[in-house]
Structure 1
Amino acid sequence: MKHRLFRSAAVLGTVGLASLMLVACGGKSTDNAGGDGKSLTFYVEEQYKAYAEKAAAAFEKESGAKVTIKTGDQLTGLENLSLDNQSGKAPDVMMSPYDRVGSLGTDGQLAEVKLEKEGMADDTTKSLVTVGGTTYGAPAVIETLVMYYNKDLISEAPKTFAEVEELAKDSKYNFAGENGKTTAFLADWTNFYYTYGLLAGNGGYVFGDNGKDPKDVGLANEGSIKGVEYAKTWYEKWPKGMQDAEGAGNLIQTQFQEGKTAAIIDGPGKASAFKDAKINYGVATIPTLPNGKNYEAFGGGKAWVIPAGSQNPELAQKFVSFLTTTEQQKAFYDATNEIPANTEARTYAEGKNDELTSAVIQQFKAAHPMPNISEMSTIWDPAKTMLFDAVSGKKDAKTAAEDAVKLIKDTIEQKFGDK
């Protein structure tokens, strides 16, 4: 599998995201001089080059335009946008993780994009590319967390967390060296990206108004606290190493690949590693929570975007519209195995009977769009501290949550109070 899960804000945290919030000179205008209106530059990662070449050839035949393909690291390209937009070196079309689209757009680094009906975007993906009523990207790919399970250990994936709790009672999953600890099920629940589905499924949320109202922080409400408390019950069962925020991910992957863990929660990007390790694994939706509700993880993925410095913005818009058609989204899936945002192409992908594809599509139905407003940068570090303090016993869940929300609100006031 070639999936890559772009948790860019989650990985880079406040500092990394802040590095992108550079002052732009170009603004949102697409009235740029210097373009001939007959050619454009298409910037993609090397893994997408084969698809890009075919798409470019088809667009050239249809439009009569010339498409030049350049390859490079996606995130580096986005980090360079501020300078490239000003110097005239920005590409005309490129890809961006959804959680970068909002902040780059409001910072003036991306041009407004028109979503065509042929793109078949749903409400979730539209929300992921829209901020302040302006759309800054065309949905291309969807991603969310799923459950991986070892078919040599269990015949099918658990449907409920009650079943997962039963697995934890099986002595064959006892962790060597730590009496009474189990690795039957593992999830990196000191990482807020992974834990959010647990909190949201209990009624917690990041920001009100579907992630658009930074004055309403919902991480200390009753549902969120209940979710944190449930996570703590698992940390009481898990090896001490699971509390290591830096090393827990490696511990989870190692235990799963060594056949010591029946089920884990992770993103579609892990499938290739498990395949390479020759694990007899399956993929399914995440079990329902003890309250009977879905695990409502963040919905993410990537969008096609037009840099504000595009020299040929009208042609770039036509190319983006072309890339999001059902035909091109089907071709993108066939080339990359990444799941289309286009709902018609998504149905096509699901018809391929690929476990990972089906699980992501089904789980995405319960996903929450990750907030794409700039204030989201204030969430990651306090939420991480909240989770660690609660599951380690340093603070009770309520106190940890309330302290985190206070810090988040104070930081938002300091950084964005004049907005």
Structure 2
Amino acid sequence: MKKSLSLLMVIMLVLGALAACGPNREEGAGNNNQGDKEKTADDTKKPEKLIVWEDKDKAGWLDEVGAKFTEEYGIELEVKEVEMADKMKEQLRLDGPAGTGPDVLTLPHDQIGEMALAGHIAELDAEQDVIDRFSESSILAQSYEGALYGLPKSSETPVFIYNKELMEEAPATMDEVYDFATDFTKDGNFGFLALWDNYYFAHAPIGGYGGYVFAENDGALNPADLGLNNEGAVEGAEYIQKWYTEGLFPKGIVGENGGAAMDGLFNEGKVASVMNGPWSFQSYKDAGIDIGVAAMPKLPNGEPMKTFMGVKGWHVSGYSKNKEWAQKFIEFITQDEYAKLRFEQTQEVPTNTALVDDPAIAENEGAKAVAEQSQYAVPMPNIPEMGTVWEPMANALQTVVTGKQEPKAALDSAVDQIEQNIQANHSN
């Protein structure tokens, strides 16, 4: 992506991670074929209702939009909130085969490969005018093996968030952040905090120094080529280690409770700045913090932080008996006016290209920061092998930040474990 593009156009240029061929689909899973491709929702028997799963605490906007869909098509909606990142896919695996699951659900794009292979989500047959509603790259992020499995809902990437009462403006470089933190960190106060024992966030400095998950070639990811312990990855891990060994990060922000501990300190006014995602904006504001938001400062090597980017999407369950109408529903709710309404209520930035210059987004500091950081963001791989990466990398990073192991040895161990897991679980 070129720096010459406008910042707000950049948010629409989310690089999709397309996968190579995978193993056979699970027996008994939902049917991805959808039967006759020429059959449309108007030709099929209209259901009395559709069951829709939206993310936790994000369904309010569907009261208005759902009512309009019901008015136009005469189909009632049953909306249920299910935590998206972890619980959505697991609940579908249980409820789908039992016939109690949803017709429509929402997932982060890095889960698409796994869910498509298993038949848990259905392939879509959208018309070109619907596809053209979104940025090309966000459509690619919703695709797997060349087939479309969802329509984009929003995109996100971590950014730099600061307390304006403690920090006048966002520094341009991490060297400046380091100098500020060195002076500010004392008596239970901290200049900057990040969850760098969590690989989702740690990828930013590791990637900025040259590490990568899977090598990419013409949009295809090669799970046999890992860059998690190369020279750049080790240098990035050494940079992370520095913040912990010098006492600039408290010991309490390591592990599963790290996020809550960091947010608690920031909400208490004890932290000047943090690295976090747009999902945190509202909770910080609700705590009474006057936040500023900017792209992540550049690393000491002069390179930008390569944060992970995710594209959330709407999907049709592979088990739904109303696939055509379920697709019609997600085409309806992702129209520009409804995507804007959802943004206004959830602050999750849509990828509808017609909304690029809409004041609701263009004049929003958080959305602008996400757009700028998106110039450098790397999409989380959506191939199933990515599932083998998270735990070994978290374990490696935690041994590094707690001083139990040096970066090179820790990353070598993580890569060995990842390679073994890929061989055991994903080899043909």
What TM-score does the superposition give when structure 2 sets the normalisation length?
A: 0.82
The reply on whether 1:199 has 2:206 as its aligned counterpart is yes
Q: 1:23 to 1:265 in 2, by over 3 A?
A: farther
Map 1:13-412 to 2 at 5 A. 24-31=28-35, 36-37=45-46, 40-45=49-54, 47-60=57-70, 62=72, 64-75=73-84, 76-114=87-125, 116-119=128-131, 120-170=133-183, 172-176=184-188, 183-209=190-216, 212-237=221-246, 238-239=248-249, 241-242=251-252, 244-348=254-358, 351=361, 353-412=363-422
Q: Does structure 1 residue 414 correspond to structure 2 residue 409?
A: no
Are the aligned partners of 2:52 and 2:105 in contact in 1 as well (CA < 8 Å)?
Answer: yes
Report the equivalent of 1:17: none
1:129, CA displacement in angstroms? 1.8
Cα distance in 2 for residues equivalent to 1:211 and 1:187? 30
**What SS does the aligned partner of 2:403 have?**
coil
* Unaligned residue ranges in structure 2 (runs of 5+): 1-24, 37-43
Task: Note the alpha carbon deviations across 1:3-53, whole angstroms, 9 max, x for none.
Answer: xxxxxxxxxxxxxxxxxx976432313249xx7245551413474444223
Q: Deviations over 1:362-393 (max 9, x none)?
A: 22232211111111111111101221223333
Provide the C-alpha distance between the structure 1 equivalents of 2:111 and 2:149, rounded to a whole number of angstroms: 10
Which whole-Å deviations, capped at 9, do the CAs of 1:203-231 have from their partners, x for residues lacking one? 21111225732111110122211111111
The separation in 2 between residues aligned to 1:124 and 1:236, in whole angstroms, is: 40
RMSD of equivalent CA atoms: 2.7
Specify the code of the residue in structure 2 equivalent to 1:98: H
Return the letter of the residue paired with 2:379. Answer: P
Deviation, structure 1 residue 404: 0.9
Secondary structure at 1:212 match in 2: strand
The answer on whether the counterparts of 1:144 and 1:267 sit within 8 Å (CA) in structure 2 is yes
TM-score normalised to structure 1 length: 0.84
CA distance in 2, matches of 1:360, 1:129: 19
Match of 2:256, SS state, is coil
Structure with the higher helix share, 1 or 2: 1
Instruction: Name structure 1 gaps, 5 residues minimum.
Output: 1-20, 177-181
Contact 1:88/1:311, CA 8 A, preserved across alignment: no
Instruction: Indicate the larger mover: 336-345 or 207-216.
Output: 207-216
Change (3 A) 1:402 1:347: farther
Tell me, in whole angstroms, the C-alpha distance in 2 between the residues paired with 1:191 and 1:375. Answer: 18
What secondary structure does 1:96 align onto?
strand
**1:250 & 1:273 partners in 2: Cα distance?**
12
Residue 150 (structure 1) shift:
1.1
Deviation of the 1:360 alpha carbon: 1.9
Q: Percent identity?
A: 33
Amino acid at match of 2:121: L
The aligned amino acid for 1:142 is S
